[in-house]
């Protein structure tokens, strides 16, 4: 019990010594000023062409000529390849001959039918002869129509031997060589991949915790390792709701369209993207913590400004304290967007108002005493122990 009493006595003496040191209490303030407020979401994505077309062929044949290669700039409607036309041309000639033969048969049977029809009306031929004549006419008419369709298909196939670019763009892949046989089947045989590199987009993977803040129309910027000193800009055009789960991490795809006039962006680059979920310019802002400030009356600190009584207001009303003529005056304010550290004030304050944000406690007169941490720590809380500089 003797040792316990001695320990309590030493602790009490230490507290008296700590409280005996002088402390300086200062009011922290900030100025309401106009500026820009932003809040962002970051993600990683992949650059790809907004328009990319696989160019193929609908006919079977041998590649005869190629007029475009990797990185060739092509225009819509430009001839870029040809398939050997000998067989296709012969098929068209055969179709023309078949159609001409069917036409002659059709016209002959049509003449016979019209003649037999008149004879049958006069009862000069039997019903059997008339029905036979009509059947031959209708069969030849159908055969003629089929031959016309076959001729159209053969002509189209011959036209398909010439491959034209469907868009303005750049050839980013060539899949065939001259002399190679391409086979038309249910899947079109690809010859080229052409992309419009003037209009690119980034497919970004946004974390589930941030996806609720991302909306169509928001501005974005991104960088790629290929051009580390360049910053590219874009706009969110699509938020895809299909989730992707990998290693228990859920992400959503966000599409950011980005113009590429200098043609620096190419498909496949990895982009580090920043999306501005909040971005307002020329707005009146104050620190967020000003909304949580409450004035205190600290005895022994006459330099602190006194606070006027706060007016009656609704519990949910937001209030800040403005320094006016050496006193703190409560102002009810209406706030807007917040960045987490700053908040927009839409009414209740003017540009240049001095706002109270907290109290700063510092040790006084002792040059070796540590300063306060800048927060709203109570001036009566025990100070950190002083360093002994005696050697």
Which tens digit of pLDDT belongs to each residue from 57-112? 888 899 999 999 999 999 999 999 999 999 999 999 999 999 999 999 999 999 99
Mean pLDDT of 16-28: 62
Give the model's pLDDT for residue 163.
93
DSSP 289-354: GGGG------TT-TTSPEEPPPPP--TT-EEEEEEETTEEEEEEEEEEEE-SSEEEEEES--TT-E
Burial of 195-216, coded b for 16+ CB within 10 Å and e otherwise, reads bbbbbbbbbbbbeeebbeebee
Lowest mean pLDDT among 33-47, 60-74, 171-185, 245-259: 171-185
Question: What is the rounded CA–CA span in Å between residue 295 and residue 293?
Answer: 7
Measured between its terminal Cα atoms, the distance across the chain in Å is: 36
User: Mean pLDDT across the chain, nearest whole number?
Assistant: 85
Angle between helical axes of 127-160 and 86-121 (0-180°, round to 10): 160
Whether residue 1 is predicted with pLDDT greater than 60 in this model: the reply is no
146 is written with which tokens? 């089929």
SS3 34: strand
Q: What is the pLDDT of residues 282-293, one digit of tens each?
A: 999 999 999 999
Mean pLDDT of 355-383: 55
Give the model's pLDDT for residue 156.
93
Whether residue 344 is predicted with pLDDT greater than 80 in this model: the reply is yes
- Residue 278 φ/ψ, nearest 5 degrees: -135, 125
Lowest mean pLDDT among 9-23, 117-131, 293-307, 315-329: 9-23
Length of the chain: 391
Give the model's pLDDT for residue 389.
45
Give the model's pLDDT for residue 304.
83
Lowest mean pLDDT among 213-222, 229-238, 310-319, 338-347: 310-319
Give the model's pLDDT for residue 339.
86
- Where are any strands of DSSP class E within 75-212? 79-83, 162-164, 169-174, 181-182, 189-195, 199-207
Q: What is the pLDDT of residues 123-162, one digit of tens each?
A: 899 999 999 999 999 999 999 999 999 999 999 999 999 9
Closest CA to 44 of 365, 274, 331: 274
Give the model's pLDDT for residue 217.
95
Give the model's pLDDT for residue 382.
52
Give the model's pLDDT for residue 18.
41
Give the model's pLDDT for residue 14.
35
Lowest mean pLDDT among 3-7, 270-274, 371-375: 3-7
Residue with tokens 């048969």: 105
Q: Which residues contact 353 (CB under 8 A, 6 or more apart)?
A: 31, 32, 322, 331
Question: What is the rounded CA–CA span in Å between residue 313 and residue 319?
Answer: 9
Q: What is the pLDDT of residues 194-211, one digit of tens each?
A: 999 999 999 999 999 999
SS3 93: helix
Give the model's pLDDT for residue 186.
55
| pTM summary value | 0.67
């Amino acid at each position: 019990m003797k040792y316990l009493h001695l320990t309590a006595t030493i602790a009490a003496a230490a507290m008296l010594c700590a409280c005996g040191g002088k402390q300086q209490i200062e009011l922290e303030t900030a100025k309401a000023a106009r500026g820009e407020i932003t809040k962002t979401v970051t993600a990683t994505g992949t650059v790809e062409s907004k328009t990319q077309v696989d160019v193929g062929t609908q006919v079977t044949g041998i590649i005869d000529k190629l007029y475009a290669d990797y990185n060739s700039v092509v225009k819509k409607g430009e001839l870029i390849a040809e398939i050997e036309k000998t067989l296709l041309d012969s098929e068209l000639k055969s179709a023309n001959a078949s159609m001409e033969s069917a036409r002659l048969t059709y016209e002959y049977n049509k003449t016979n039918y019209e003649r037999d029809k008149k004879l049958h009306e006069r009862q000069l031929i039997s019903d059997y002869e008339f029905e036979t004549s009509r059947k031959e006419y209708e069969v030849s008419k159908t055969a003629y129509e089929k031959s016309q369709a076959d001729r159209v298909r053969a002509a189209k196939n011959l036209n398909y031997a010439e491959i034209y670019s469907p868009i303005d763009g750049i050839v980013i892949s060539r899949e065939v060589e001259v002399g190679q046989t391409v086979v038309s089947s249910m899947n079109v045989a690809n010859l080229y991949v052409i992309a419009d590199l003037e209009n690119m987009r980034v497919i970004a993977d946004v974390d589930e915790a941030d996806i609720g803040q991302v909306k169509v129309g928001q501005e974005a910027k991104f960088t790629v390792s290929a051009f580390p000193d360049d910053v590219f800009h874009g706009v969110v055009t699509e938020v895809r709701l299909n989730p992707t789960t990998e290693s228990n991490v859920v992400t959503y795809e966000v599409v950011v369209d980005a113009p590429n006039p200098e043609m620096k962006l190419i498909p496949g680059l990895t982009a580090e993207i920043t999306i501005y979920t909040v971005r307002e310019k020329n707005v009146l802002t104050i620190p967020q913590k000003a909304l949580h400030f409450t004035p205190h009356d600290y005895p022994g600190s006459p330099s602190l400004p006194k606070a006027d009584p706060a007016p009656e207001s609704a519990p949910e009303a937001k209030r800040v304290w403005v320094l006016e003529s050496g006193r703190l005056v409560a102002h009810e304010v209406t706030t807007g967007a917040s960045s987490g550290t700053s908040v927009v004030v839409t009414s209740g304050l003017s540009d240049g108002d001095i706002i109270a944000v907290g109290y700063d406690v510092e040790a006084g007169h002792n040059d070796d005493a540590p300063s306060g941490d800048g927060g709203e720590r109570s001036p009566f809380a025990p100070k950190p122990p002083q360093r002994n500089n005696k050697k």
